[in-house]
Homo-oligomer: A and B are copies of this chain.
Amino acid sequence: MLSLHQLRCFLATYEHGSLTAAADELGYAQPSVSEQVRALETSLGVQLFRRVGRGVVPTTVADTLRPHAEKVLAAVEEAREAVQSVKAFETGTIRFGMFGVARLYAGAGLIADVLGRYPGVRVELVGQNSTEVAEDLRRGRLEAAMLAVSGVESEGITITPVAREELVYISADPTRLTSPVTARRLAEASLVMPETTWRAEDSTRILLRQMLHETGRNPQTRIEVEDVETAVELVGLGLADSVIPRGAAEQLIPRLAPGAGWVSLRPRQWDTFAIVHRTGAVLSPAARLMIELATARIQEIAEPLARS
């Protein structure tokens, strides 16, 4: 079996024209190098050196092998260096989950933070829909993610809240925004709801369900959409109202629904932003970095929560 060790011994021998000198360079005893070279010769079925009393002389096969052996060892070095540089965040890909409105709070800015610190790195923010992120986490394809959650419990998943953000009622009809929206009024509203949080434990929906339950009505969600932007646009068109985090409203309404506005709920409700990862997993430095930066970003905008 051809080995890197054999190639190293071969090259040292080739360069020095001597097994003894090669052994010195490599820090081995001479018979060891001799054995390695012989093993290489046997494994290739070719003589690499002619033993001529004093010293050894490379054959033409050795001449042929040499550049290839050097290339192999160079490739090994490259591999090692590539890994080390990734380890030190100089290059490579950092993958991080970020779902729903969290993206509005820390998307582009977070990437800018990472690239500012590690210019060579490639960042991947995954999260088209919450079930996909959940699956990726569960399967281990994703180390960690930043999400908006309601509860703090899940099987095999650890959820660490880092910030909270008030939920507001948004509408294009100014008459609906004159006072905080109560459960009764919410139950009567025609709503468009984006899928912004963690799985079925969507805090906004739980809230709505609770409110509606109090009023004895069924859920009245008129439209379901994937992303917040679409929901806000629909609100801007006057087709429905919605309930989203305040920061999202402040950011999106001027851009996508200039005619709309927002108002608090009564009682006030909050979405929780949290770091989510597999329970018991040892997080990589990359993941820890992303968590740190994402948390900092979120806490600049939303109200910080003490991390446990």
Contact = CB atoms under 8 A, between A and B. Distances in A.
A72 B79 contact: yes
A3 B79 CA distance: 12
How large, as a class, is the contact surface on chain A?
Answer: 35 or more
A61 B44 contact: no
Copies in the complex: 2
B86 A75 contact: no
Nearest to A74: B75
A272 to B, nearest CB: 26
B83 A44 contact: yes
A300 interface: no
A64 B44 contact: no
Contact of A60 (B61, B64, B93, B282): B93
A72 B64 CA distance: 18
Contacts of A3: 3-5
Contacts of A50: 140, 143, 281
B86 A61 contact: yes
A289 to B, nearest CB: 11
Contacts of A60: 86, 89-90, 92-95, 117-118, 286
B86 A45 contact: no
Interface string A45-59: 111001011000101
Nearest to A89: B60
Contacts of A292: none
B83 A46 contact: yes
Contacts of A68: 75, 78-79, 82-83
Nearest to A140: B52
29 contacts: A1-B5, A2-B76, A3-B3, A44-B80, A45-B91, A46-B86, A47-B90, A47-B120, A47-B282, A50-B281, A52-B139, A52-B278, A57-B139, A59-B90, A59-B120, A60-B92, A60-B286, A61-B90, A63-B92, A63-B93, A64-B82, A64-B86, A65-B79, A65-B82, A68-B75, A68-B82, A71-B75, A72-B76, A75-B75
Interface of A: 1-5, 7, 44-47, 50, 52-53, 57, 59-61, 63-65, 68-69, 71-72, 75-76, 78-80, 82-84, 86-87, 89-95, 117-118, 120, 139-141, 143, 278, 281-282, 284, 286
Given A45-B91, A60-B93, A69-B79, 7 more contacts: A1-B5, A2-B80, A59-B90, A60-B117, A64-B83, A72-B72, A72-B76
